[in-house]
């Protein structure tokens, strides 16, 4: 796998999950062990839109920077690490639970590692 594909995969996943959260908020919230209320659905829509936008940005990064992907990849690793710390805190504090949280945790670990490793090895031209 090359680093451009990694950006596309994470971007596509963020777009899919953001779209899912916008179209089926009840299901998205329940996958994290949250109750659907007016307030949580409203909050979920905002976060889902943000996730969708970040997905579009992630997909476009390789086009914008060409082959100079080392720094964006390392930043992607740092961003995924920040999300990882947040997910671990929320799981440990019982703010979130369920299969969605565990899948999110596993994917975030994988993306953080891949971005750091591939970014460190990438030779910009």
Asked whether 60 and 83 are in contact (CB, 8 A), the reply is: no
pLDDT, averaged in runs of 10, over the chain (125 residues): 94 95 90 88 94 97 94 96 96 91 95 96 80
For the chain, the domains span 3-121
Q: How far apart are CA 43 and CA 52, in angstroms?
A: 14
Tell me, yes or no, if the pTM score tops 0.85. yes
Q: How far apart are CA 119 and CA 3, in angstroms?
A: 8
pLDDT at 34: 87
Q: How far apart are CA 23 and CA 1, in angstroms?
A: 31
pLDDT at 125: 60
Which residue, 51, 59, 125, is CA-closest to 83? 51
Asked whether 23 and 30 are in contact (CB, 8 A), the reply is: no
- With 0-12 / 13-18 / 19 or more C-beta atoms within 10 angstroms meaning exposed / middle / buried, residue 18 is buried
């Amino acid at each position: 796998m090359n680093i451009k594909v990694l950006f596309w995969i994470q971007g596509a996943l963020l777009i899919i999950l953001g779209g899912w959260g916008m179209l089926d908020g009840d299901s998205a919230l329940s996958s994290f062990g949250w109750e659907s209320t007016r307030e949580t659905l409203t909050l979920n829509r905002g976060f889902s839109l943000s996730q969708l936008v970040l997905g579009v940005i992630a997909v476009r990064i390789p086009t914008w920077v060409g082959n100079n992907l080392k720094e964006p990849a390392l930043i992607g690793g740092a961003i995924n690490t920040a999300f990882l710390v947040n997910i671990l805190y929320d799981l440990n504090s019982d703010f979130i639970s369920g299969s969605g949280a565990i899948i999110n945790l596993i994917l975030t670990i994988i993306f953080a590692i891949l971005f750091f490793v591939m970014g460190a090895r990438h030779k910009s031209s």
